[in-house]
Amino acid sequence: MKRALASAFIVAVLIGLAGYAALFIAPDERTMHEIQRIFYFHLACWIAMFSAFSLVFIANIAYLATRQPQWDWLGVAGAEVGVVCCTGGLITGPLWAHPVWGIWWTWDARLTTTFILWLLYISYLLLRGLLEEPQRRAALSAVFGIFAFLDVPMVYMSNRLWRTQHPQPVILGGSGSGLDPTMGKVLLLCVVALLGVMILVLVDRYRLERLRHEFEELRQEVESRRVESQSTFREGRT
Amino acid sequence: MKNFDNLFAAWMAVWAVFFLYEIFVSSRLARLRKDLDRLKEQLRQK
């Protein structure tokens, strides 16, 4: 409990520092001015999302290899948290695009592949809700999760391979790309803050899945004891 | 500050999404813990 409170406190401080740095310390961008500061939360959301979905991918492969339920719990926890990060990115994107591009949304390669990614992981979560039997649910969703992850490199590469309305990458984008050193440090702080939030939420979500499993096992035990006591009662009467 | 509304909305949206999700997960956790305790109590009685 103390450790959880301490980590929540550290993350809260990081969020405050990241907000202050993004709004007041980062230098003004030459063409977009203040609105460019959305970049610090926008990119941080995508980095958190890529981390969460990579974790889902690893957990899905590990589940199929070992059939340990813990990997399934990690998979579903990561997928839900990844969808939350993706939603954050999909909200901040249009809020940045509107004053700069004059439109909220366009179906270019980057935006479309990202939207598809969001839909794929929502389908992953919906699919789990449709399957009753735990082993079957875990196996099928692991296969679907691996398939969904194929879109992640497509999202990453989309504005490198095609001409898009979305700007070309500023980090790891080859010659001509790069960030001002202060901007880089502020971005790093925002990414650390958002990853901290993501990990806190992920731990809680994983705990929820573990408890669900425990609950299901206990429920079955209660049920079998009830059936057992009923049959003993019937035998006693005959 | 030009476009401050959008900047503020983006900032709020990111944390609101995470905050609401955390509330949702925490409430589900609390409910499940209560159900689990109830089941354990049932098992102890049998």
Task: With respect to residue A102, please indicate whether it lies within any of the assigned structural domains.
Answer: yes
Chain A positions touching B38 (Cβ under 8 A) are: none
Residues of A at the B interface, defined by Cβ within 8 angstroms: 15, 19, 22-23, 33-35, 37-38, 41-42, 44-45, 80-81, 84, 87-88, 91-92, 95-96, 98-99, 194, 197-198, 200-201, 204-205, 207-208, 211-212, 214-215, 218-219, 221-222, 225-226, 229
Q: Which of A147, A40, A163 is nearest to A92 (CA)?
A: A40
Q: For residue A139, what are the domain limits? A: 2-25+33-224
Decide: helix, strand or coil at residue A131. coil
Task: With respect to residue A235, please indicate whether it lies within any of the assigned structural domains.
Answer: no
What's the pLDDT at A173? 66
Closest alpha carbon within chain A to B21: A84
Q: What is the pTM of this model?
A: 0.90
Residues A192, A195, A199, A200, Cα dihedral to 10°: 70
The predicted model gives A149-171 an average pLDDT of 86
Contact B18 A229 (CB under 8 A): no
d(CA A60, CA A55): 8
Chain A positions touching B23 (Cβ under 8 A) are: none
Task: With respect to residue A61, please indicate whether it lies within any of the assigned structural domains.
Answer: yes
Q: Which of A118, A116, A119, A124 is nearest to A146 (CA)?
A: A124
Task: With respect to residue A230, please indicate whether it lies within any of the assigned structural domains.
Answer: no
pLDDT tens readout for residues A124-150 = 999 999 998 999 999 999 999 999 999
* A187 vs A168, residue with greater confidence: A187
Check which CATH number belongs to the domain holding A127 and give it: 1.20.120
What's the pLDDT at A238? 62
pLDDT confidence band for B1 (50 / 70 / 90): low
pLDDT confidence band for A176 (50 / 70 / 90): low
Task: With respect to residue A48, please indicate whether it lies within any of the assigned structural domains.
Answer: yes
What's the pLDDT at A97? 92
The predicted model gives A166-192 an average pLDDT of 82
Chain B positions touching A87 (Cβ under 8 A) are: 17
What's the pLDDT at B46? 66
pLDDT tens readout for residues A97-121 = 999 899 999 998 999 999 999 999 9
- Count CB neighbours of A192 within 10 A: 15
Number of domains in chain A: 1
Alpha helices by DSSP H, listed for A102-180, are: 109-130, 134-149, 151-161
What's the pLDDT at A164? 78
pLDDT confidence band for A87 (50 / 70 / 90): very high
Task: With respect to residue A234, please indicate whether it lies within any of the assigned structural domains.
Answer: no
Task: With respect to residue A147, please indicate whether it lies within any of the assigned structural domains.
Answer: yes
